[in-house]
Structure 1
Amino acid sequence: MNDREIAKQLLPLLGGKENIVSATHCATRLRIVLSDDQKANKSEIENIDGVKGAFLSSGQFQIIFGTGAVNKVYAAFAKEADLDNEDRKTDHQDAIKQKMNPIARFAKTLSNIFVPIIPAIVASGLLMGLLGMLRTFQWVAPDSSLIVLLDMFSSAAFIILPILIGVSAAKEFGANAYLGAVIGGIMTHPALLNAWAQGTVEPDYLNFLGFDIAMIGYQGTVIPVLLAVYFMSKVEKGLRKVVPNAIDLIVTPFVTVIVTGFFALIILGPLGNFVGDGITTILNFVYNYGGFFAGLLFGGTYSLIVITGVHHSFHAIEAGLIASIGVNYLLPIWSMANIAQGGAGLAVFFKTKRAKTKEIALPSALSAFLGITEPIIFGVNLRYRRPFIGALIGGALGGAYVVFTNVVANAYGLTGIPMVAIVSPLGTANLINYLVGLAIALVGAFVATWILGFKEEE
């Protein structure tokens, strides 16, 4: 069946053209926002040739086609649904948020802010690993120019993290991205004591209008700049409503920066640090004292959180951990849960007798090993239910092991096999225990799914 025929079959099964609000696609899935989700005929859609699964998640009806195929189907679908018509064009992200509950909407917002920053964080993590290896194995002299340069390259993203977040958050909040960068720059200004290098040094205090402002920067922090840029977006939008167009370019940026700057250093920055430190303290308490059982719980329940879409908000927490303690101990646990979903899907592949299920299960399981779990969760494991339970068991076992052996990462954004890149820089033992954890999660989920079995769909 060609792409146009697939698109023609999809349209009535999704409730017709009038039920399509917006559509886009990712690497493997066609993502559609519907006016009425109940009008989508999931079972009939999954019977179309080329469709490897369909599910409703995070305000979108998602249809799995696979890499390469989805691009062609989307082009044909957009034409059939008349999505290029100016009268029908809708911002996809806004359409998604309108369909979500407040918690899911909040998680989606955080995801939109932090996902674009992932490449910078991963690159910094790898550079830190390279720097650590050069120092540990003494491949070059400690005062080598290479060491100095790599130290600059690896720490830059974390030092200017508030600026990166400022740009991304301003875009998400509908404000000027460059004003967001300015606010991030104010919070990391050289006149402020570098938070990373503070140690036992006491910061100076500046008295302003009766307020004692601690002259300490917010390098590497997350929550302070999020609060500041959100506040900035409200100030900017409010001003644009009342400032005449003739002087908007002069007045709005000036007032926005000066008002937000004062509030950021006097109130929002310290408040954000307090909240961030509180979250880190609670997580550290659970991690340190819950130990094995914390890994068992987090590893076993993470996939349940993935179904809701709230897991996207964890990037902010992980970035906060890296800024506070220098490592990310949550990501290895999430990775165990993802690998376990792949292990359960692999068991389904070997156990099922249906060619259609095999066709979906194997590539979806492989994508889970690379950190992309939605196809295997919604296309296979959750559909048959018991494989999903088997995956929860595998994730719990793997999570317990990586917590027990203190496996950590130096970045966020990668799970599964690719996560080796941000685990290995922290030592051979860290890498070996991570790989052992992967094996435990995969085998545990495979065996649990095989024992539990599942009822085949006709």
Structure 2
Amino acid sequence: MAKVTKKNVAAIIAAIGGEDNINMATHCISRLRFQLKDESIVDEEALKEIDIVRGNFSSNGQYQVVIGQGTVDKAYEELVRQTNVKEVTTAELKEENAKKLNPLQKIVKMLADVFIPILPAIVASGLLLGINNVLVGVGIFVEGKSLVDMYPNLASIAGMISMIAGTAFAFLPALVGWSAVKYFGGNPLMGIVLGLVLVNPALMSAYEIGVKEPHYWNFFGLEVAQIGYQGQVLPVLVAAWVYASIEKALRRVVADAFQLLVVAPVTLLVTSALSLIAIGPITLWISNWITDGIVSLSNISPMVTGVLFGACFALLVITGMHHAFLAVNLQLISTTGRTMFWPIQALSDTAQGSAALAMAFVTQDKKNRSIALTSALSAYLGITEPAMFGVNLRAKYAFVCSMIGAGLAGGFIAYNGVISQSIGVSGLFSILSITRAGWGAYAIGMLIAIGVPFVLTFIIGMARRKQGNAGF
């Protein structure tokens, strides 16, 4: 891998229009992130020639240059040394960029900023649930038996793993509460407490609605059901916004000496009461309505839904709108116990890796071959940005081939009823999050997602290479 030097960082600065074109800059785990005065003057061809650059793209008001994990921080340090650029955090840059967004983009940004911080917990729980499925799944290794049936001593291990794996989903409102209250400008610790209020064991579990009759509180003639909101997303999201709004208002009017005694207790009491009386019931109804609508649409023709969603998911990633589907998947899992969309997303990521792998064989440039190989491996392990932005979008036909493969794979697994009961890591290990009954169909879908993009990209790429225009 190329090393960061003064020369290649200076080349990046020149390619994006020079220091005068940079309003502010920061970096994340793999990319330099810029707010530029004029993105139209960026010399993308020059960027592609810089040895440490693995891709570049613009999204939601940010111009991003993909450098790679472990290298980007060194590039950023050198960037700061060579310029007088305004250093900001990723959150500050996002806040500044948000001023340029339309209402739909702001909603998508909000969902991304709330759910991405809790994604590690969700993915870890999904992987553990997948391991538990291997232990208790019947017929995986021996017909009619599970590993626990064959080796009873594994029962306690499976039970513990199941308990640990289910914790993040059981207390999802607490995770969302922490992240959402923090996003909306309140005390994130109180966001956790707010989320825990909504799943307090004293309340009847949301999973028992329709099975048991809840108890009721009587507030001066107003009957309020004692129902929890386990696994729900929308109720705590709205409650977090209300909490942060009340907290900020109280902090402006309550004297500093009394804030500890007044702000948190009053805000928590008022928001919790509003959540149990109005916010929870209304948003639960809305959530169920949205869920029923999505399920009904997907049931009209699962295969068509799978093809369209699989083919278009990569386009959603480019626009950033794919973040909204994290909330959709979590809501579907909470309400129905399953989702058909996450398995399709995972195969779309695999397809991106396969197209990038094909480009490693197509290109005759050693640097590009190295980028394509490492990007393909990264995508197969669940991180697709280098493959998508660093390889496939540069060779546009590779991106189209990946969409075709993802669409075919998505249609196949949707037609065969493949579902997931959790969200795990995408790529080759995504099968762990698929229910045991769908493993066979999902494995075939994965072969489609691997084979079709690779073959199509390779054939088209070799034909273009003969013409001297491989596009990468």
TM-score in terms of structure 2 length = 0.87
Percent of residue pairs identical: 37
1:93 aligns with 2:94: yes
The answer to which of 180-189 and 11-20 deviates more is 11-20
Question: Does structure 1 retain, via aligned residues, the 8 Å contact 2:235–2:279?
Answer: yes
State the shift of 1:150 in Å.
4.3
The answer to which of 38-47 and 400-409 deviates more is 38-47
State the shift of 1:400 in Å.
0.7
The superposition leaves residues 141-174 of structure 1 with CA deviations (integer Å, 9 ceiling, x where unpaired) of 6996656544532322222111111111111111
Question: Does structure 2 retain, via aligned residues, the 8 Å contact 1:54–1:62?
Answer: yes
Query: How far apart, CA to CA, are the structure 2 residues paired with 1:124 and 1:380?
Result: 31
Partner of 2:74: 72
Matches within 5 A, 1:24-35: 24-35=26-37
Give the counterpart letter for 2:117 in structure 1. P
Among 288, 299, 305, the alignment partner of 1:277 is 288
* Closer/same/farther in 2, CA of residues 421 and 99 from structure 1, 3 Å limit: farther
Query: How far apart, CA to CA, are the structure 2 residues paired with 1:13 and 1:251?
Result: 54
* Closer/same/farther in 2, CA of residues 342 and 128 from structure 1, 3 Å limit: closer
Query: How far apart, CA to CA, are the structure 2 residues paired with 1:166 and 1:111?
Result: 14
Query: How far apart, CA to CA, are the structure 1 residues paired with 2:355 and 2:154?
Result: 50
Q: Give every structure 1 segment of 4 or more consecutive aligned residues whose post-TM-superposition deviation is greater than 6 Å.
A: none
Partner of 2:60: 58
The answer to which of 10-19 and 286-295 deviates more is 10-19
What stretches of structure 2 of length at least 5 have no aligned partner?
Answer: 139-145
Partner of 2:454: 446
The superposition leaves residues 74-104 of structure 1 with CA deviations (integer Å, 9 ceiling, x where unpaired) of 2211332345779x99823323433433323
Equivalent residue pairs, number:
454
* Closer/same/farther in 2, CA of residues 258 and 51 from structure 1, 3 Å limit: same
1:341 aligns with 2:349: no
The alignment partner of 2:301 has SS state of helix
The superposition leaves residues 322-343 of structure 1 with CA deviations (integer Å, 9 ceiling, x where unpaired) of 1112223211111222222222
Partner of 2:272: 261
State the shift of 1:394 in Å.
0.6
Question: Does structure 1 retain, via aligned residues, the 8 Å contact 2:405–2:452?
Answer: yes
Question: Does structure 2 retain, via aligned residues, the 8 Å contact 1:83–1:89?
Answer: no
State the shift of 1:288 in Å.
2.3
Among 206, 211, 218, the alignment partner of 1:207 is 218
Query: How far apart, CA to CA, are the structure 2 residues paired with 1:24 and 1:154?
Result: 35
The superposition leaves residues 279-320 of structure 1 with CA deviations (integer Å, 9 ceiling, x where unpaired) of 211221123221111111111111111110110121111111
Among 193, 200, 222, the alignment partner of 1:182 is 193
The alignment partner of 1:338 has SS state of helix
Query: How far apart, CA to CA, are the structure 2 residues paired with 1:7 and 1:281?
Result: 51
Question: Does structure 1 retain, via aligned residues, the 8 Å contact 2:234–2:284?
Answer: yes
The superposition leaves residues 37-85 of structure 1 with CA deviations (integer Å, 9 ceiling, x where unpaired) of 2343222222223222222123322222233332321221133234577
RMSD: 2.7
Question: Does structure 2 retain, via aligned residues, the 8 Å contact 1:21–1:95?
Answer: no
Partner of 2:395: 384
The answer to which of 268-277 and 235-244 deviates more is 235-244
Matches within 5 A, 1:30-429: 30-82=32-84, 91-135=92-136, 136=138, 137=146, 138=149, 149-198=160-209, 200-423=211-434, 426-427=435-436, 429=437
The superposition leaves residues 6-60 of structure 1 with CA deviations (integer Å, 9 ceiling, x where unpaired) of 2222223333334334333344322223233234322222222322222212332
Question: Does structure 2 retain, via aligned residues, the 8 Å contact 1:25–1:74?
Answer: yes
Query: How far apart, CA to CA, are the structure 2 residues paired with 1:145 and 1:55?
Result: 49
TM-score in terms of structure 1 length = 0.90
Query: How far apart, CA to CA, are the structure 1 residues paired with 2:128 and 2:391?
Result: 38
What stretches of structure 1 of length at least 5 have no aligned partner?
Answer: none
Give the counterpart letter for 1:102 in structure 2. P
* Closer/same/farther in 2, CA of residues 256 and 218 from structure 1, 3 Å limit: same
* Closer/same/farther in 2, CA of residues 236 and 298 from structure 1, 3 Å limit: same
